[in-house]
Chain A
């Protein structure tokens, strides 16, 4: 019997190493195996024979692990980077291509900067077009990486061309508020355009949409890390070069814009090829900040409700609350995309997340109520329309998410529904951002 136990232990270790299979799966399979062994034993086979037959009946491990991985694609993706059996060329030889795109983006940004005479002069076209100098390269990088055909390349390029036409043909007024809004919203629109080549053209797939959400969160973390590293590097360089009399600011003018542009593509490449690193960090970050935000928001909601500040909001505050809702939504979305698909029953984190979302909703409703009352007196401006519209779009999303996660917590709905709600809602954000870029300026006479 001793040897049977060691055989099972060995088998366990072997199965646990297979891609797509996690600890709970192994427990479940082991229970199956032991059940089978004891039955075969009872039928007269020896322990050894029973073990062999039972293992054989479970099936080929490669097939089994593929099936598990197909069901739990999130897990498969963890393993791809390590083993990389399917695409051996991906991890190692891939650095040249992203680097080429990063350098191209860096050069284009630099040319634009020189043409604009930044930072001595600050023409508004530079800020308005900034993302148009960078994100097409990111899109092209993904289009190449996903080996898209000509038609898909065309569909990837088309929105960039249209966006470039729209933001540069519109006759912007001096100190135009709508132009500032376009500067803010165009990056969002273009980011969604990047989603198209990222998903290899399959924008209808909810699983791929979730992948894109995950990518966005991880890209952001990598980008911040690169920016921090870059900041340290610049600071040290300045410290070292100062005594030699070199004009450090002149160097920064050259390095910063190009670094920021190249970093966009390098971060994307890192997410693609070194997922394991950030993948372990990202859920931890979400775990850390979701409770903190929940506490902050719940306190704020109580304070606002108690002190009755709700009546005296101005437009700036709506913008602050827009930012707040975006952050809460990002936490919710990212927490969802980073979730281990195996644990599909609610946990305490889901409860905390719900507290955060509901508090944010309560706060936001107070702000929105005050704001709508004031618009009655003061009328619409471009800024108010954009702020209110975004607020509304976010409010609907979070209300739906709160409703579904409350049902999920009480066991009346599934995580799957919640994920579906979010992935189905993603195009709404894209459409709203595009509306602000394309429709709002003419409506408010480019003012």
Chain B
């Protein structure tokens, strides 16, 4: 299934924040998690994740730290902040509203993310 570019872009921030809310992570692992979560349906160009992460950093939603990876390379880890958690909660409310509206106007489809409404 092809997912519209704008929709992918809109989902990127809450998705990344939610993944970081599970625990600190780094670029490559975040992308793998996105693929796993969406079963490969959310197609990102790998590189685009990094400008997004830098934006979250500038807004104070995440902090970062350079560490040495198990393979001995320098790796940049990202951790979500309190502000980031607040932003995530806000995003969740927005998505819940959108989902509810779509659910109402598409009766019977039933497949829309009902779980999100309780999030």
Which A positions have Cβ atoms within 8 angstroms of B?
24-25, 27-32, 34-36, 38, 57-60, 63-64, 67-68, 70-72, 341-342, 344-345, 411, 413-417
Smallest CB–CB gap between A343 and chain B, Å? 10
Tell me whether B50 and A68 are in contact (CB under 8 A): yes
Tell me whether B28 and A35 are in contact (CB under 8 A): yes
Q: Which residues on the B side are within 8 Å of A67 (C-beta)?
A: 47-48, 51
Contact partner of A416 (CB less than 8 A), chosen from B26, B27, B58, B71, is B58
| Stretch of B72-80, B93-101, B111-119 contacting A (4+ beta carbons < 8 Å) | B72-80
Contact partner of A32 (CB less than 8 A), chosen from B46, B54, B63, is B46
Contact partner of A58 (CB less than 8 A), chosen from B47, B57, B71, is B47
Tell me whether B45 and A57 are in contact (CB under 8 A): yes
Given A67-B51, A68-B51; A31-B75 close (CB under 8 Å): yes
Tell me whether A59 and B48 are in contact (CB under 8 A): yes
6 tightest A-B contacts by CB? A414-B60, A59-B45, A67-B51, A58-B47, A59-B47, A64-B47
Tell me whether A64 and B48 are in contact (CB under 8 A): yes
Which B positions have Cβ atoms within 8 angstroms of A?
26-28, 45-48, 50-51, 54-55, 57-60, 63-64, 69, 71, 73-76, 83
Tell me whether B57 and A344 are in contact (CB under 8 A): yes
Pull 20 A–B residue pairs with CB atoms less than 8 Å apart, ordered by A: A29-B50, A31-B69, A31-B75, A32-B28, A32-B46, A35-B28, A57-B46, A58-B45, A58-B47, A59-B47, A59-B48, A63-B47, A64-B47, A64-B48, A67-B48, A345-B64, A411-B63, A413-B60, A415-B60, A416-B60
Q: Which residues on the A side are within 8 Å of B71 (C-beta)?
A: 34, 38
The CA-CA distance from A249 to B50 in the complex, in Å, is: 62
Q: Which residues on the A side are within 8 Å of B45 (C-beta)?
A: 57-60, 63-64
Tell me whether A36 and B46 are in contact (CB under 8 A): yes
Closest to A72 in B: B54
Tell me whether A32 and B27 are in contact (CB under 8 A): yes
The CA-CA distance from A235 to B54 in the complex, in Å, is: 52
The CA-CA distance from A372 to B45 in the complex, in Å, is: 63
The CA-CA distance from A446 to B50 in the complex, in Å, is: 60
Given A27-B74, A36-B28, A63-B45; A416-B50 close (CB under 8 Å): no
- Residue of A28, A60, A63 with highest tally of chain B CB at under 10 A: A28
Tell me whether A28 and B76 are in contact (CB under 8 A): yes
Contact partner of A31 (CB less than 8 A), chosen from B51, B73, B83, is B73
Smallest CB–CB gap between B5 and chain A, Å? 12
Closest to A411 in B: B63
Smallest CB–CB gap between B81 and chain A, Å? 8
Smallest CB–CB gap between A132 and chain B, Å? 40
Q: Which residues on the B side are within 8 Å of A58 (C-beta)?
A: 45-47
The CA-CA distance from A25 to B84 in the complex, in Å, is: 22
Contact partner of B50 (CB less than 8 A), chosen from A28, A57, A344, A411, is A28
Tell me whether B76 and A416 are in contact (CB under 8 A): no
Tell me whether B60 and A341 are in contact (CB under 8 A): no
The CA-CA distance from A29 to B26 in the complex, in Å, is: 11
Closest to A59 in B: B45
Closest to B57 in A: A344
Smallest CB–CB gap between A214 and chain B, Å? 17
Smallest CB–CB gap between B3 and chain A, Å? 17
- Residue of B55, B60, B64 with highest tally of chain A CB at under 10 A: B60
